[in-house]
Amino acid sequence: MPLSPRKLSLKPKSKKRASRITRVKMTITKKDLAILDKFEFGVQPVGVKFLAKRPDLVERLNENMTLCEMLKRAQEGNTFFADKENHTCEAGLYVLG
């Protein structure tokens, strides 16, 4: 069965519905990630999240490197956040927006 992306819109269609939109805190479990094993990726996938403020429970990357190096480090199982000062390559900043 082919997978197709779904569009998700949090924009309310009416003022009445606007009050029902709430923030949802998601917790990802090991069971949730088990689906990735079925794809048999040659390289582990990583996630990138954009935040307006520094995360509380994730440490900042303690060195400067290119985005490619950051992705490799994340594929090795490391969790961190990086800001503009951590990037040594303009292309990485451009790709991330």
**Residues 17-45: tens digit of each pLDDT:** 555 555 556 676 777 778 888 888 888 88
Residue 6 in this model has a pLDDT that exceeds 70: no
Q: What is the pTM of this model?
A: 0.62
Of the listed ranges 9-13, 68-72, 84-88, the least confidently predicted one is 9-13
Could you give the 3-state DSSP secondary structure of residue 87? strand
46-62 burial, b at 16+ Cβ within 10 Å, e below that, comes to: eeeeeeeeeeeeeeebe
Query: Tens of pLDDT along 52-65?
Result: 899 989 999 999 99
What is the pLDDT at residue 43?
84
DSSP character at residue 86: G
